[in-house]
Structure 1
Amino acid sequence: MDSPQAPEPATVHTIDFGALSRNLAGTLYEPGAPVYDDLATPWNLAVQTSPAAVVEAANAADVVECVKFAAANSLPVAVQATGHGIASNLDGALLIHTRLLDACTLNSDSNTAQIGAGVTWATVLAQGADLGLIGLCGSAPGVGVAGYTSGGGIGPMVRSFGAASDKVRSFDVVTGDGELRHATAQSEPDLFWGLRGGKGSLGIITGMEFELLELPVIYAGALFFDTAHVENVLRIWAQWCPTLPHTATTSVAMMQLPPMPGVPEPLAGRFTIAVRYVFVGTADDGATWLAPMRSAGVLLMDAVGPMPSSMIGLVHSDPEDSMPAAERSTLLADFPREAVETLLEAAGPDSSSPQLMVEIRQLGGVLPQLPETPSALCHREAGFGLHSVAVGPPPELPAFGAHAEAMIQNMAPWAYGGSLANFATGNGAGAFAESYTPSVLAKLSTLARHFDPENVFRLGQVPAR
């Protein structure tokens, strides 16, 4: 039976947002208010947003009020914490900002964290430092925990410990019917399944509890090589990866970093290659496994060594400031020598590539092992992930994106098929759909119709019905 369609939307100018504002503990901002621009702007400055109003939620009850109001007024709803997942212009939407839901409590007795939707990984890492605890964060600590984990969470220790979504114990989530639900594997098994990997398809997460690891020290960092060694380093890295144990997670990135604050002087203004590495065993073992890469060329910088696990963000040193960017990604089944040569032709030192960074992440390890409680995360068996980032004035970004798409097409002989949800953001509903198998996507769509009968999350991740 078909689900009911959302009623015809009211004209935004006729909606009395004051009726919503009076029921909130937080604050509602309409266009023209200075805070509106701050809250509505996503991390990717190439995305221009124009929501009808923005609510800075003070608690979960505010999120409930917003969702109910949106359903009654036929408004789409979107959510933002750090803004890394926003890809739509949000035209006419009610945007809920969750940065004030910033409670974060780590429990060293149970090795768990309880966090609000506004908490970033940087906060969890900082609190875990004194306890010797770490969560399965991403490469950028400034990213929100909830959004990252709901997309599966494939981070710099994925080969050793799997996906972040596998470590979740519970979610507090407001579904499209305006209900605040506590979802666990026992209480809401279908919702719990979809929230772990389904990104924003089924509701707005207001809080969550997840497991932490006892891991005070890691052997980690990055090796940097100059232009003349890029090709040799990439070839050796591709041969080295299959030899690694699951205690090692690595990626390699060809980079063209501009001279600007935060970029180390040896890397600025030149074409370089970085080998990122996280080893969760002893430093001696970590150094032994890394030795073939240390000898792959003349090093510009060797920044690998024992470090507190709370400093794991230094491995990738992802940019923290907002910028206009074009990102593309895909998954590879394998990365043999022929694939290396193809990638070098498209994005190597002699290619005139406009990409700021082209990265290959090795997957595998324990990631393909299915968790005891199933989830919506797909494509666990992929061997590698390919991701590119180009930065520049927004008028130039479409051409940069076209170059990346051509590069991905050239890599088609080694394609696994599809992408990962957190890397598909910004490339449309079709790209997001490729993050899932047909059966998983069908189940997510069915659940979305059940939990969101008025289709208020139609700007979300599941293709609009």
Structure 2
Amino acid sequence: MSAYGTVRGAVLEPGGDGYDAERTGFQTASPHRPAVIVVAEDAEDVRAAVEHAAAHGMPVAVQNTGHGLPLPADGGLLIATRKMTGVQIDPDARTARIEAGVRWAQVVAAAAPHGLAPLSGSSPGVGAVSYTLGGGVGLMSRRYGFAADHVRSIDAVTADAKLRHVTPDTDPDLFWALLGGRANFGVVTGLEIGLLPVARLYGGGLYFDAGLIPAVMDAWREWTRTVPDEMTSSIALMPVPDVPVFPEPLRGRHVAHVRIACTGDAADGERLIAPLRAIGPRLIDTVGEMPYTDSGLIHNEPPVPMAYRATNVAVDALDGDLVRDLLVLAGPDAPDRAIVEVRHLGGAMAKPPAVPNAVGNRGAGYLVGLLSKLGPDADPAVDALHGRFGGLLAGRSRGQVLNFLFGGSATPDQVRAAYEPETYRRLAGLKAKYDPANLFRLNHNIPPA
């Protein structure tokens, strides 16, 4: 379309070929319904799309994979970045340059031949850029911190339709705000990130049957108080459907899945997890030495798009009363089917990064998350369950973590709770400077002060 000037990529409108496929990402419950989609081929396409949106008063949304959809775009302009897939590794500098459409699997594969790894998350199919801009709680984060802490430079198109190369030296305020503020301050077209000298992990999953879940929860809670920063772990309580896609030992069972990622050697790993193995028999035990390229098998999350809602609460401590409350809410005997995951935080995540950024709630000890699968229609039972979850954790909460607020229903209060009050005030002030019209508002939005 000539209205979009030099755009090389496809421009899609409702009813046209490819529109429905492009607007729908991994989260299928609340897909975007934009007035127009620009399928960007490069940074110039992004710049031209932002220029057009600003000139016509159209709010802008961005989507790569659609895993972390905070709320759907209803109208406006959607910039699809999935075709921007460039990855360049500098093994000497231990860095990677990644474009906006890159998934973690691509970075892991490109870095591995050099004995390096990114601070990627549990799912290799997640978009690397949006994950990093939201903070990024990774498989090795207790040892190395948040993914955002390892960003060297950012290429972004701001609301004035300028393509900027942002570093801590060229624009420290914008650099700080983009890392933690996610899509509020521009469309990021690329990042330069630091890589880690990691080629292998001691990791995998320990799966326990329903009868052992209370003992596993209590043991894991006590165990996390003793482990070194080299050990990052989480525990998920999951009802497993009785369908062939799942391993036979798990089908139709309610299981506790302990996820292990240790950067120490195998002997250290074996010693550290011995107390967990001593709890009782495992349905499946996959923990052992693995190349980092197999790290997606630790959480072993399904790669198939689905409809779901998720929320989370960061807490300082995980006490016995909270464990019992979670078992009542979503344990084997609970009336509702949902997944509860508790991630062990702390370690390097609790320390300030070498270059400041806006990632919030660094001091939390644990992250408690709830995920519910959704049907094709509104589900009052899911609404009620998430309401009970919020009430259960209200008195224990120290906030929320931005990247785990997905499912198409993130609220302004939840977004505010992802930051300390002073951080949020500074972000709102910088929003007024860089995006006073709130062009970038179809996201985890921070309105301009």
The answer to whether TM tops 0.5 is yes
- 1:278-297 alignment to 2 at 5 Å? 278-297=261-280
Q: Which residue among 178, 200, 204 is the counterpart of 1:221?
A: 204
Cα-to-partner distance string for 1:362-385 (whole Å, 9 max, x where unaligned): 101111110121110111110100
Contact 1:424–1:435 (CA<8 Å) still a contact in 2? no
| Of 192-201 and 455-464, the range deviating more from structure 2 | 455-464
Deviation at residue 397 of structure 1 after TM alignment = 3.8
| Of 208-217 and 255-264, the range deviating more from structure 2 | 255-264
- Describe the SS at the equivalent of 2:391: helix
Q: Distance in 2 between matches of 1:456 and 1:334?
A: 39
Q: Which amino acid aligns with 2:332?
A: P
Deviation at residue 280 of structure 1 after TM alignment = 0.5
Q: Distance in 2 between matches of 1:235 and 1:454?
A: 49
Deviation at residue 389 of structure 1 after TM alignment = 1.1
Cα-to-partner distance string for 1:171-211 (whole Å, 9 max, x where unaligned): 00001111100010001100110111111111100011000
Deviation at residue 261 of structure 1 after TM alignment = 4.9
Q: Which residue among 112, 128, 136 is the counterpart of 1:153?
A: 136
Q: Which residue among 400, 410, 417 is the counterpart of 2:398?
A: 417
| Cross-structure match for 2:351 | 369
Deviation at residue 241 of structure 1 after TM alignment = 0.8
Q: Distance in 2 between matches of 1:464 and 1:75?
A: 16
| Cross-structure match for 1:184 | 167
| Of 20-29 and 389-398, the range deviating more from structure 2 | 389-398
Q: Which residue among 424, 433, 436 is the counterpart of 1:441?
A: 424
- 1:387-426 alignment to 2 at 5 Å? 387-413=369-395, 415-425=396-406, 426=408
Q: Distance in 2 between matches of 1:397 and 1:114?
A: 42
| Cross-structure match for 2:87 | 104
Cα-to-partner distance string for 1:64-120 (whole Å, 9 max, x where unaligned): 111111111110011101112323331111000011111001111111000100000
| Cross-structure match for 1:317 | 300
Q: Quickly say closer, same or farther: Cα 1:398–1:95, change in 2 above 3 A.
A: farther
| Cross-structure match for 1:200 | 183
Deviation at residue 295 of structure 1 after TM alignment = 1.1
Contact 2:313–2:393 (CA<8 Å) still a contact in 1? no
| Cross-structure match for 1:11 | none
- Describe the SS at the equivalent of 1:130: helix
Cα-to-partner distance string for 1:210-265 (whole Å, 9 max, x where unaligned): 00011111100010011111111111111111010111011011001213354211
- Describe the SS at the equivalent of 1:133: coil
| Cross-structure match for 1:4 | none
- 1:448-459 alignment to 2 at 5 Å? 448-459=431-442
Cα-to-partner distance string for 1:126-151 (whole Å, 9 max, x where unaligned): 11222221100111111111100000
Q: Distance in 2 between matches of 1:166 and 1:397?
A: 38
| Cross-structure match for 2:360 | 378
Q: Distance in 2 between matches of 1:389 and 1:307?
A: 28
Q: Distance in 2 between matches of 1:259 and 1:353?
A: 16
- 1:57-206 alignment to 2 at 5 Å? 57-206=40-189
Deviation at residue 456 of structure 1 after TM alignment = 1.3
Contact 2:315–2:365 (CA<8 Å) still a contact in 1? yes
| Structure 1: gaps of 5 or more residues | 1-17
Q: Distance in 1 between matches of 2:138 and 2:76?
A: 31
Q: Which amino acid aligns with 1:72?
A: A
Q: Distance in 1 between matches of 2:331 and 2:275?
A: 21
Matched, 1:55 2:45: no
| Of 305-314 and 125-134, the range deviating more from structure 2 | 125-134
Q: Which residue among 226, 233, 239 is the counterpart of 1:250?
A: 233
- Describe the SS at the equivalent of 2:15: coil
Contact 1:248–1:279 (CA<8 Å) still a contact in 2? yes
Q: Quickly say closer, same or farther: Cα 1:454–1:411, change in 2 above 3 A.
A: closer
Q: Which residue among 1, 15, 19 is the counterpart of 2:2?
A: 19
Q: Quickly say closer, same or farther: Cα 1:82–1:48, change in 2 above 3 A.
A: closer
Deviation at residue 461 of structure 1 after TM alignment = 2.5
| Cross-structure match for 1:333 | 316
Contact 1:105–1:115 (CA<8 Å) still a contact in 2? yes
| Cross-structure match for 1:3 | none
Aligned length: 446
Q: Distance in 2 between matches of 1:66 and 1:156?
A: 35
Normalising by structure 2, we get a TM-score of 0.96
The percent identity for this pair of structures is 39
| Structure 2: gaps of 5 or more residues | none
Normalising by structure 1, we get a TM-score of 0.93
- Describe the SS at the equivalent of 2:47: helix
Q: Which amino acid aligns with 2:352?
A: L
- Describe the SS at the equivalent of 2:109: helix
Q: Distance in 1 between matches of 2:330 and 2:68?
A: 26
Q: Quickly say closer, same or farther: Cα 1:338–1:445, change in 2 above 3 A.
A: same
Contact 1:332–1:383 (CA<8 Å) still a contact in 2? yes
Q: Distance in 1 between matches of 2:262 and 2:187?
A: 34
Contact 1:165–1:196 (CA<8 Å) still a contact in 2? yes
| Of 289-298 and 389-398, the range deviating more from structure 2 | 389-398
Contact 1:201–1:444 (CA<8 Å) still a contact in 2? no
Contact 2:238–2:256 (CA<8 Å) still a contact in 1? yes
Contact 2:135–2:148 (CA<8 Å) still a contact in 1? yes
Q: Distance in 1 between matches of 2:231 and 2:149?
A: 19
Contact 1:326–1:397 (CA<8 Å) still a contact in 2? no
Cα-to-partner distance string for 1:292-349 (whole Å, 9 max, x where unaligned): 0011122101100000012111111112111011112111110011211111122111
Q: Distance in 2 between matches of 1:243 and 1:87?
A: 35
Q: Distance in 2 between matches of 1:333 and 1:448?
A: 30
Contact 2:427–2:446 (CA<8 Å) still a contact in 1? no
Deviation at residue 158 of structure 1 after TM alignment = 1.1
| Cross-structure match for 1:462 | 445
Contact 2:68–2:404 (CA<8 Å) still a contact in 1? no
